[in-house]
Amino acid sequence: MNTYPLSLRSKLPNVGTTIFTVMSALANEHQAINLSQGFPDFEVDEKLISLIHQHFQKGHNQYAAMAGVISLRETIAEKCNSLYGVEINPDTEITITPGGTEAIFSAITSVIHPNDEVIIFEPAYDCYAPAIELCGGVPVYIELQAPYFKVDWEFVKKHINHHTRMIIINTPHNPGGSIFSADDMLQLQKIIETSDIILLSDEVYEHIIFDNAKHESVLKYPKLAERSFTVFSFGKTFHATGWKMGYVIAPENLTKEFRKVHQFNVFSTNTPIQYALADYLKDADNYLYLPKFYEEKRNQFSEIIKDLPFKFVPTKGSYFQCVDYSKISDESDKDFAIRLTKEYGVAAVPVSAFYHRAKDNKLLRFCFAKKKQTLEMAAEKLQKLIP
């Protein structure tokens, strides 16, 4: 097809296909158990599926309102009120998006100008930096140390200057599995409360949090919430990553800018699913079981790997567990992940993929959002790592 020598200057010269796609493809090719890309292998609740059918049949099949179906936004406002004690205006402060990634992309695009600096904590989820770069912004990377991935706020303070426009936080953290405490939030608040810095808070794993810890949403902190885009995901919460459904909460001035971009990016989001979610979300039991449900999986996975030559601390939130394999091999994390897939039949993600310079800390990330049997099968295969 390519015969004309078209001159093409890539806008993202250093970006390739995401590691999640690469590792899932390799897992499929080798019929390995796929603990790489983060997605559940169990089914969505039948009740929710049948609600979607009902709304298809009711004829909810045309464009939804640009900001999202109002009944869904109202239900989200009620949920945030009961969980985080905050009053949110569903009309002016909530926008339904096709997944968390679109919300993050549109939020960044709506406020970042060329040369604006954006602080990102590494390891970082892979969609933040490309969005900043497409705006001509400058990602400023601050490294978090394994295995606890804690933020040193004094150090963050030193990286703030008059170019700093945004800080991106992610709690529970992917891939690190760490969570922010109330103290983290207050320290952050102290640093930015009298500045023009906007916060982008990726909280897509808000319900996947363990050991009775409470999720510290930005929404609980009025002085943070008034300058924040907070991003949530129905895919994570309702085991339906393939639906690409999420939402963003932001004060009116930020939401106004967000919607200017969102309307020309996707215009609106899947209508029948929004109606179904509006019904389903009304019953808090449909999500309040999640911490315990996933804690059991976290524990099962910890049990599986505790006698293997891995070093790890059990994850505090998200459905990911990072492990240090340096006792097993000197290979790069990428090579080791590939060999683990091909020779042992279990796929994981090399954590270097979450660093702009592919820093190799000899860490792999496993996703434990899997059926008991899947984890048992993985356990059996991983036993072969014992010398």
Footprint on this chain of ligand GLN (rule: CB under 6 A): 18, 20, 37-38, 174
Q: How far is CA 355 from CA 292, 313, 334, 342, 350, in A?
A: 31, 21, 13, 24, 10
| Alpha carbons 108 and 133: distance in angstroms, whole number | 10
| Alpha carbons 26 and 56: distance in angstroms, whole number | 36
Query: Beta strand 228-233 with 246-249: parallel, antiparallel or unpaired?
Result: antiparallel
DSSP for 162-190, please give it.
TTEEEEEEESS-TTT-----HHHHHHHHH
User: Which CB sits closer to ligand GLN, 28 or 81?
Assistant: 28
| Alpha carbons 279 and 53: distance in angstroms, whole number | 13
Nearest approach, Cβ of 250 to ligand GLN (angstroms)? 21
User: Which CB sits closer to ligand GLN, 125 or 275?
Assistant: 125
> Which residues are 199's β-sheet partners?
167, 228
User: Which CB sits closer to ligand GLN, 101 or 269?
Assistant: 101
User: Which CB sits closer to ligand GLN, 18 or 329?
Assistant: 18
CB atoms within 10 A of CB 276: 27
> Which residues are 360's β-sheet partners?
none
Nearest approach, Cβ of 367 to ligand GLN (angstroms)? 6
Task: List, in sequence order, the alpha helices (H) in the chain.
Answer: 19-29, 46-57, 70-84, 100-111, 128-134, 153-158, 182-192, 222-225, 234-237, 252-265, 271-281, 285-288, 290-305, 333-339, 372-382
Nearest approach, Cβ of 47 to ligand GLN (angstroms)? 25
User: Which CB sits closer to ligand GLN, 94 or 367?
Assistant: 367
Nearest approach, Cβ of 81 to ligand GLN (angstroms)? 28
Three-state DSSP at 117 gives strand
Nearest approach, Cβ of 373 to ligand GLN (angstroms)? 21
User: Which CB sits closer to ligand GLN, 37 or 341?
Assistant: 37
User: Which CB sits closer to ligand GLN, 37 or 271?
Assistant: 37
Nearest approach, Cβ of 98 to ligand GLN (angstroms)? 13
User: Which CB sits closer to ligand GLN, 20 or 344?
Assistant: 20
Residue nearest to ligand GLN (CB): 38
Burial 216-238 (b: 16+ CB within 10 A, else e): bbbbbbebbbebbbbbbbbbbbb
CB atoms within 10 A of CB 344: 17
Nearest approach, Cβ of 26 to ligand GLN (angstroms)? 14
Nearest to 225 by CA among 38, 81, 368: 81
| Alpha carbons 50 and 85: distance in angstroms, whole number | 31
User: Which CB sits closer to ligand GLN, 18 or 263?
Assistant: 18
Q: Where is 321: in which H helix or E strand?
A: strand 320-324
Nearest approach, Cβ of 370 to ligand GLN (angstroms)? 13
Nearest approach, Cβ of 129 to ligand GLN (angstroms)? 14
